[in-house]
Amino acid sequence: MEEVDNILICSLRLSGTPVPEEAQSLREFTTELIVESVVRCLRVINPPLGASLSHVLPPGMSARFRLGSSLAQACQELGYPGEVGYQTFLYSSEPEIRRLLLFLVEKLPRDDAEEAGQPAGKSAMLLRTIAAKIKEQLGMPWVPPTCRTPRLQLLQGACHLKPFRAHPLVLPHESGLVECQEFFRGFLPLVPAQPPQPGPVAPSLLERHAADLGAQNDWEAEWQNQGLASRLPPKEYLQWKRQRLQRRLLDQLRQAVPPPGTAGFLQPGAPDLAQLLGVLSAGGTGRPLAKGSRFSHAQRLAHGQDPQDLVGQMQEAAERLTPSKSSEQEMQQRQAEELAGLHGELQHLGAQVDAVGGQVKVLELGLSQAEAALWQQQLVLGGREETLRVKRQALELLPQADNNLAKLQLLVEGSAQRLVHLATQWETRREPLLEQYRGLRAARRSRQLESARHVAEIQALRERGRSVAAEARRKEELCRQLLTELESLPGDMSRTAYTQRILEIVGNIRKQKEQIGKILADTRALQKEINGLTGKLERTFAVTDELVFKDAKRDESVRKAYKYLAALHENCSQLIQSSEEAGAIQRQIRDLEEQVESEGAKMTPANLERILSDYRALRQENAALLGRSREP
């Protein structure tokens, strides 16, 4: 691990971490140096992510825990596959820190020259191609339409442009009317069939979506500005808004009633609005005007008196109705009655508008149903017309039925002979075609098998190429790291010493491989010998068992010898099994010893001591904060 630690230390120094010169491995790294190394790497990898992190370990324990949690979250966002937490930095072990720093060093950005040497993927090539095309089109000058070549006509012409024509669309929505729901389910055509032409479908959808989105945005803006300030639910807010609109309409009507030039209506003793309207409707006679249709009212207003006479009548009515002496209480009562009458009239008008709107919807629904029924009747009429045409032709042939039947018989016989002749010709042509089809199908099957084999070979070659490319990239990365380490070393050191060290390492590795090979060969020979002896023992026991068993039927002493032989064989089997179990136990003991060594390398006792000291410091900080909070 010394070479790996040296590479990591060189990479950390390049990222800006002030690693001391005497530090030769990660075992010598302190908690402050580990935190600073991780923060420096994060700032180089992702500047926005590492800018909010401090590379100095704070003195307070709570701040340390927060910093450790932030570092763990940042590493997880970068895609670190292992488990990481605040304990990884505050109570670290050498293997965990080595894996984390290796991950961060691999994430460090490379130089432009190194990136240029890496093979580009399909997405990068596609992006470069798109950028080149856009740059080419931006660099192309504009040419008048008369001077454009066919290629420029495709790039700068208007041949692909179409006018934006939108058509109103009817979309199903939740409504309380049963007729509307039936219309939506059975008679409303699909959205592509609603425009008169197929072209405006997309513009119509865009226009409808923009209108819905605009209405929703307006409602959200109004609700955020005024709705939330009213502290009302949405339904109550809409009802309040409708009532406010009705009050505004009422005020507008009250302001529009007095004609210009008459000041009697603005006096406190003015007549009630309902009485004034009744007097005006009676033409100044004091009699209420009979109710009539809208047409009669229009005719009466069109052929009635001129505006000056109407104004005079209004003034006379106001003078006649205005009391000579009225108290303040009577004026307020008249105003209240006038307001109540206007409210009732406004509600009546609103109910009439709602009723007329419902009637319009019902009429529209009936119109659509009538159109659908008309379309169905047209289809039925077309089928009946076709049937009528066939029957008409049959009736025209009835007067000469015998001649027509003879002609029809001749046509049928000729058609049958022609079909037989065509069937014979088809059979003569079908056999070679069928043979050719079978041959082509067999060739296609063989070609498919061959192509499948080629595809499998190509996939295997691609996988091998990927593995080779990954290995080459890994070796290139290792070579660059070694070159960086070589450049960072002082120049007075000789190349011969490094070469000698490398040769020694290679020689040691070769010796180890030779020893491992000898051990494996000895193990194989020993296993082979054990297998041979085991087989020989089994064969010998089988032969001995057979011979002794034959004699045991006649001799009692041989029968005892057979029992002793069976017991001896069983004891030998138990001894062999015991020796195998002892070997397995010894291997488990070695594994447990290795685990104990690895746990010892994690410095668990030292970390526990540090955790206890940090716990005491945290309790002291909490006590100090509690004392400050209790101070007056």
Q: DSSP letters of 299-335? A: HHHHSS--HHHHHHHHHHHHHHHS-SS--HHHHHHHH
User: In the structure, what pLDDT confidence band is assigned to residue 321 with cuts at 50, 70 and 90?
Assistant: very low
Q: Which of 443, 357, 448 is nearest to 175 (CA)?
A: 357
Looking at residue 568, its pLDDT comes to 82
- Mean pLDDT value across residues 284-294: 42
Neighbours of 214 (CB within 10 A): 10
* CA triple 445-451-454, angle to 5 deg: 150
pLDDT at 169 over 80: yes
| Contact yes or no for 16/38 (Cβ under 8 A) | no
- Mean pLDDT value across residues 361-380: 86
Looking at residue 119, its pLDDT comes to 43
Q: How far is CA 72 from the centre of its chain?
A: 26
Q: Which residue did the predictor score with more confidence, 281 or 397? A: 397
pTM: 0.30
Distance CA(8)–CA(614), nearest Å, equals 29
Q: State the chain's mean pLDDT as an integer.
A: 76
5-23 confidence digits (pLDDT tens) = 777 787 787 777 888 877 7
Amino acid identity, residue 177? Answer: L
* CA triple 618-623-626, angle to 5 deg: 125
- 3-state SS class at 202: helix
Looking at residue 495, its pLDDT comes to 59
Residue 336 structure tokens? 């209240």
| Contact yes or no for 192/198 (Cβ under 8 A) | yes
Q: Which of 242, 258, 268, 384 is nearest to 330 (CA)?
A: 268
Neighbours of 74 (CB within 10 A): 20
Share of residues in the chain with pLDDT > 70 (%): 80
pLDDT at 60 over 70: yes
499-548 confidence digits (pLDDT tens) = 777 778 888 888 888 888 888 888 888 888 888 888 888 888 888 878 77
Q: Which of 185, 169, 167 is nearest to 177 (CA)?
A: 185
Residue 462 structure tokens? 């691609």
Looking at residue 556, its pLDDT comes to 76
- Mean pLDDT value across residues 335-350: 84
User: In the structure, what pLDDT confidence band is assigned to residue 270 with cuts at 50, 70 and 90?
Assistant: very low
Looking at residue 257, its pLDDT comes to 57
Looking at residue 292, its pLDDT comes to 44
Q: Which CATH number fits domain 2-109: 1.10.418, 1.10.3470, 1.10.287, 2.60.120?
A: 1.10.418
Amino acid identity, residue 317? Answer: A
Q: Which residue did the predictor score with more confidence, 217 or 291? A: 217
Amino acid identity, residue 231? Answer: R
- Mean pLDDT value across residues 135-139: 76
392-421 confidence digits (pLDDT tens) = 877 777 777 778 788 888 888 888 888 998
Q: Lowest mean pLDDT of 292-296, 382-386, 578-582, name the range.
A: 292-296
Looking at residue 110, its pLDDT comes to 64
Looking at residue 280, its pLDDT comes to 44
User: In the structure, what pLDDT confidence band is assigned to residue 602 with cuts at 50, 70 and 90?
Assistant: low
Residue 523 structure tokens? 């193990």
Residue 489 structure tokens? 């070393």
| Contact yes or no for 101/4 (Cβ under 8 A) | no
220-235 confidence digits (pLDDT tens) = 888 888 877 777 888 8
- Mean pLDDT value across residues 306-324: 47
pLDDT at 431 over 80: yes
Neighbours of 153 (CB within 10 A): 13
20-33 confidence digits (pLDDT tens) = 877 777 778 888 88
* CA triple 176-361-195, angle to 5 deg: 105
Looking at residue 560, its pLDDT comes to 80
Select the highest-mean-pLDDT range: 128-142, 286-300, 384-398, 449-463.
Answer: 449-463
Looking at residue 164, its pLDDT comes to 77
Residue ranges in 79-147 assigned as alpha helix (H): 86-90, 94-107, 112-117, 122-139
Looking at residue 463, its pLDDT comes to 87
Q: Lowest mean pLDDT of 99-113, 249-263, 345-359, 603-617, name the range.
A: 249-263
